[in-house]
Amino acid sequence: MSESSNQSEGTSVIVIGAGIIGVNTALALQDRGHAVTLLDRRGVAEETSRGNAGAFAFTDVEPLASPGILLKAPKWLLDPLGPLSLRPAHALKMLPWARHFYVASRPRRHEASISAQARLMTLSRAALERLIDRVKGEPLMRREGQLQVYEGEAEYQASLPAWELRRQHGIAFDLLESPEAIAEIQPGLASGFTHAGFTPDWMNTVDPKLWTEHLAACFRAAGGMIETNDVQAMVQQGDAVVLETTAGLLRADQVVVAAGAWSHHLARTLGDRIPLETERGYNTTFPTRTFDLRTHVTFSNHGFVVSKIGDGLRVGGAVELGGLELPPNYRRSEILVQKAVQFLPGFDGTGGTEWMGFRPSMPDSLPAIGRSPRADRVTYAFGHGHLGLTQSAGTAEIVADIVTRQSPALDLAPYDPLRFGGRP
């Protein structure tokens, strides 16, 4: 195979993965003066970053691994169409991840994960505002808040500890205890939703694919290179990293792995074993709005959301633990649409486009951000679960600090890629 350099001027950096994390990171590194090439096997926002709900969920600080979920999980996992399900064909493969998930759900680890998540959210929110200003991105934002709705007093009371956690971490919200109060923010919901919590500072992008493409266009305009290329292995040789790709060998001074749910396969070529699992998410996008949606609505105990995407609506959510290889089960997205029709009177649930994406998930819901212990010129930035869009700008600033050997704004120990073991 032939060997080539990615760019000739400045410190060369290759970022692997052109999803929202990779594109943000490439732009941040470019701003620090690096010569950056962005590689992706399919192209910009062609995987998970194209089809998410478009939410910057800065209020979501509680990890999936929690003491309470251990009581709910057995019932959920046995329901193939429930909010959290496990594909039987994948069960044995995810046992190591499940063991770490169990440990992460213990109270002390759970509390530590919440604190680390909240710190990353604070940084990411400020970083996003800086980024919006930097790329003139305000027309691609919606600042309409988020409404989490509950059916009856019991569901509402069960939610209050989570709202107290948000209060402790400085998140603004209003609790609504009547259908009338809910209707002032979002009229037209089914009458069974009697209580809610509203987070006014919640943000959405008008379309996650458009937002990622806008950032990529800014990167290109400043001289950045984006190439379609599939990276299969990495090795550090002296003061450079050599990538084996389908198009030949590439060499760079530094490499950032931001390939989402595929990242751990690349890490393994260096000898790093990172417990990354795949939360498969489903949604259906409708090109027009047949319901007057005024805010992002989360149906908490049904595991799905409804959000505006462009001129239409997107209905999606739930978690399916099924890896990267099994075919989609679109019956899950059909169930979510049926619920949306029931909960949003007048909503027309026909004519939508179904989609499934791979959310890269670590056992404690915290991303893997940091250098490889076996190759100090390789930095990992993946594993954000359903918070990749939310934490993308903050992650990019952290990675830019790591690559330029500056002190990041956060203590990176909670996000150590090898925090579950495997350090040399």
Tokens read off for 404: 């330029």
Give the pLDDT confidence score for residue 2 in this predicted structure.
Answer: 35
Spell out where 107-194 has E strands.
141-142, 146-150, 174-176
CA distance 231 to 162: 41
CA distance 81 to 184: 33
Name the average pLDDT for the chain.
93
DSSP state of 172: -
* pLDDT tier at 10, thresholds 50, 70, 90: low
Bridge pairing between strands 35-40 and 12-16? parallel
Condensed to tens digits (0 to 9), the pLDDT of residues 154-178 reads 999 999 999 999 999 999 999 999 9
Evaluate whether residue 30 is within a structural domain: yes
Is the pLDDT at 6 greater than 60? The verdict is no
Q: Are residues 322 and 283 in the same domain?
A: yes
Give the pLDDT confidence score for residue 78 in this predicted structure.
Answer: 67
Q: Are residues 40 and 79 in the same domain?
A: no
Evaluate whether residue 127 is within a structural domain: no
Give the pLDDT confidence score for residue 79 in this predicted structure.
Answer: 72
Is the pLDDT at 23 greater than 80? The verdict is yes
Tokens read off for 290: 């047949």
Comparing 379 with 2, the larger pLDDT belongs to 379
Q: Which residues contact 300 (CB under 8 A, 6 or more apart)?
A: 148, 149, 150, 155, 159
Backbone phi and psi for residue 173, each to the nearest 5 degrees, phi listed first: -160, 160
Tokens read off for 140: 């691609």
Q: Are residues 286 and 173 in the same domain?
A: yes
Evaluate whether residue 114 is within a structural domain: no
Give the pLDDT confidence score for residue 75 in this predicted structure.
Answer: 67
Give the pLDDT confidence score for residue 400 in this predicted structure.
Answer: 98
* pLDDT tier at 77, thresholds 50, 70, 90: low
* CATH number reported for the structural domain that contains residue 398 in this entry: 3.50.50.60
How many domains would you assign to the chain? 2
Q: Are residues 261 and 307 in the same domain?
A: no
Q: Are residues 270 and 285 in the same domain?
A: no
Give the pLDDT confidence score for residue 66 in this predicted structure.
Answer: 85
Give the pLDDT confidence score for residue 83 in this predicted structure.
Answer: 73
Q: What is the mean pLDDT of the segment spanning 411-419?
A: 97
> Which of 339, 360, 381 represents a domain boundary (last residue)?
360
Q: What is the mean pLDDT of the segment spanning 95-119?
A: 94
Helices and strands (DSSP H and E) totals, the chain = 10, 22
Of 110, 115, 95, nearest to 277 by C-alpha is 95
> Which of 342, 360, 378 represents a domain boundary (last residue)?
360
H/E element, 85: strand 84-86
Condensed to tens digits (0 to 9), the pLDDT of residues 132-147 reads 999 999 999 999 999 9
Comparing 88 with 110, the larger pLDDT belongs to 110
Evaluate whether residue 131 is within a structural domain: no
Cβ proximity of 380 and 120 under 8 Å? no
50-54, 74-78, 201-205, 343-347: least confidently modelled range: 74-78
Give the pLDDT confidence score for residue 215 in this predicted structure.
Answer: 98
Comparing 192 with 83, the larger pLDDT belongs to 192
**Residue range(s) defining the domain that contains residue 269:** 3-49+209-275+365-415
* CATH number reported for the structural domain that contains residue 197 in this entry: 3.30.9.10
Q: What is the mean pLDDT of the segment spanning 38-52?
A: 96
Q: What is the mean pLDDT of the segment spanning 256-272?
A: 98
Q: Are residues 166 and 44 in the same domain?
A: no
CA distance 254 to 267: 14
CA distance 333 to 313: 14
Give the pLDDT confidence score for residue 86 in this predicted structure.
Answer: 85
Is the pLDDT at 396 greater than 90? The verdict is yes
Kindly report the CA angle at 145 between 143 and 146, in degrees rounded to 5?
A: 140
Is the pLDDT at 8 greater than 70? The verdict is no
Q: What is the mean pLDDT of the segment spanning 373-395?
A: 97
